Structure 1
Amino acid sequence: MSVTDKIAARLPKIVADRADRGPVVAAVRLHGVITPSPSPMARNTINLQNVESALTRAFDHDRLVAVALLVNSPGGAPTQSALVAERIRELAAKKRVPVLAFCEDVAASGGYWLACAADEIYAHGTSLVGSIGVVSAGFGLNGLLERHGVERRVYTAGEHKVRLDPFRPEKPEDVEWLRGLHEELHGQFVDWVRERRGSKLSDSVDLFSGEVWTGAKAAELGLVDGVGTLRGVVAKRYPDADVTVAEPRRPLLARLGLAGSATRSGDFLLDGLAALEERARWSRFGL
């Protein structure tokens, strides 16, 4: 029998096998700090660039009945949070499939922003959910330079070009400007949550104070639709469905198992500070 004849003989079985395969729920992991420029020391980060391929693969599945977002993030950059959430909504509208979010250890701040891109949100009873607020943090290094006799020279056109420079003493007017920026961003965050959650939100407490709740309490307050896990919810909603998981791209050093190593000695300090900042975001939630 020729190769062509063998393929022709197997074709009916291949077609039948494909017809027998059931629907699929495609899950995308959104794990890590949300940042536009991950440090080489970071193991998992979220931004539009590194999740785009995973989202596209998930929404392009030929037997798709729903997409699940597995969110485990303490937050981070507001713009990247918004860009990823908007991309999810674009794909959901194009493919006309529901999106379910599952909060794991923490879906706080930008992590909750991502969860709100879903049509329904679920959390484990012990998950930490919320933190609808805005925060920024940095380091004041001007004393360090003085201690080591280093003079930093910066030349600008525009009096506000170097606001909050970490190598210069903090100015009250710069802090006031930052607070105004925070208020504006906070307002956009609140608008997004109200748009996505609507009348589900409880008015018994201030949900926009930056407070964090357990998944069980978040369900009472309308921040999530219920307590549940990916497998449990899918088993009830789509009992015949297979679950596939799409992993976002990770930084090269993380893929090589070298996360935690600075690429150049000159970058060690900055990479170390970035790693400390990432660690601080998680430690706020006891993780």
Structure 2
Amino acid sequence: MSDQDSKSVDLSATQNALLSQFARAYLDQQRREQRWRWFWRSVWLLVAASMIWATIESVPSATAPVKPHTALVEIRGEIAAETDASADSLMTALRSAFEDAGARAVVLRINSPGGSPVQAGLVNDEVRRLKALHKKKVYAVCEEMCASAAYYIAVSADQIYVDKASLVGSIGVLMDSFGFVGIMDKLGIERRLMTAGENKGMLDPFSPRNPRQDGFAQSMLDQIHQQFIQVVRAGRGKRLKETPETFSGLFWNGQNAVELGLADGLGSLDQVARDIVKAEDIVDYTLKENLAERLAKRFGAAIGAGAVRAARSSASIH
């Protein structure tokens, strides 16, 4: 065999090897893409099934017997938008509780340090509207803490019951921040803030305090405080024994709260249901995430992250 024939055979063998490697790589790529397609289809199917399950579980049974009971709505944690104690969640639960023909009365079981006066005000208004519409009593039962915005909601009830060691009150408003001007001066750091509108940078923690702007903020807080005071006075009426400390932002234990007229007596949820509402059966109307909803959220986050990774991978390949 000549050298030229030998070179031709070697070239052909090399080409065949390269074609074989390319074919194997192409088939491997196709298999990987097929596996990923089946994976994402399975994930989406699972998410869809979870959402359907969550929807079915969240719908009350239409054939459930209407029995006399005490309707419960829990108010726990911070009262703020996008939390379990948001106005949207609480008002939805309250409407369901009031509209149930078997509910003799509604109990708000509260364990919260407070939160947004806006969210609390919305709930307070809705409770009073539903009471007038459905002619049902509302009782607030305070556990460890019923302070600030939580008490704002509690005074919408016809009566408030506490434990002797509950923390109750804190009828005040605050706006907190930090100031870094002194430490910036020591470190030689200059704040460069540009605004259109002389008050746009108001209360900026990196700028010196402005007495006029501070006065404006204090005036706003005082107005919100007066709104809070009016709501408390309207809710508690003549039962409230006002002192110079009542609206100062102080809080008291449950026993002192009863003495000051901030609450009506000592009692628990079971005691109120049994002795006052006269309906020992308690039905919880609080909106809660079930297992399916939690899974759906987690899968949604995983899918989003996976989609981002896939997009980045595709961009780097192509």
TM-score in terms of structure 1 length: 0.72
Q: How far has the Cα of 1:73 moved from its partner?
A: 1.4
Secondary structure at the aligned position of 1:46 is classed as coil
Q: Which runs of 5+ in 1 are unaligned?
A: 1-14, 39-43, 265-287
Q: How far has the Cα of 1:151 moved from its partner?
A: 6.6
> What is residue 235 of structure 1 aligned with on the other side?
274
For 1:207, the aligned partner's letter is: T
Q: Which runs of 5+ in 2 are unaligned?
A: 1-62, 299-303, 306-318
1:34 aligns with 2:74: no
Question: Is the Cα–Cα contact under 8 Å of residues 75 and 85 in structure 2 kept in the other structure?
Answer: yes
Q: Which moved more, 1:191-200 or 1:234-243?
A: 234-243
Q: How far has the Cα of 1:154 moved from its partner?
A: 4.0
1:215 aligns with 2:254: yes
1:155 aligns with 2:195: yes
- Across the aligned residues of Structure 1 and Structure 2, the Cα RMSD in angstroms comes to 3.2
Question: Is the Cα–Cα contact under 8 Å of residues 52 and 248 in structure 1 kept in the other structure?
Answer: no
Q: Which has the higher contact order (CA 8 A, sep 6+)?
A: 1
Distance 1:143 1:53 in 2: 48
Distance 1:204 1:178 in 2: 26
Question: Is the Cα–Cα contact under 8 Å of residues 273 and 279 in structure 2 kept in the other structure?
Answer: no
Judged with a 3 Å threshold, the aligned counterparts in structure 2 of structure 1 residues 150 and 205 are, in CA distance, closer, same or farther, namely closer
Question: Is the Cα–Cα contact under 8 Å of residues 22 and 240 in structure 1 kept in the other structure?
Answer: no
Question: Is the Cα–Cα contact under 8 Å of residues 89 and 117 in structure 1 kept in the other structure?
Answer: yes
- Which of 109, 121, 134 aligns to 1:70? It is 109
> What is residue 238 of structure 2 aligned with on the other side?
199
1:95-133 CA-to-partner distances (Å, cap 9, x unmatched) read 110000011111111111010010110011110000111
Q: How far has the Cα of 1:80 moved from its partner?
A: 1.2
Q: How far has the Cα of 1:171 moved from its partner?
A: 2.3
> How many residues matched?
235
For 2:102, the aligned partner's letter is: R
1:24 aligns with 2:69: yes
Secondary structure at the aligned position of 2:252 is classed as strand
Secondary structure at the aligned position of 2:175 is classed as coil
Question: Is the Cα–Cα contact under 8 Å of residues 216 and 227 in structure 1 kept in the other structure?
Answer: yes
> What is residue 93 of structure 1 aligned with on the other side?
132
Distance 1:154 1:248 in 2: 45
> What is residue 108 of structure 1 aligned with on the other side?
147
Distance 2:149 2:102 in 1: 30
For 2:208, the aligned partner's letter is: P
For 2:86, the aligned partner's letter is: N
Question: Is the Cα–Cα contact under 8 Å of residues 116 and 196 in structure 1 kept in the other structure?
Answer: yes
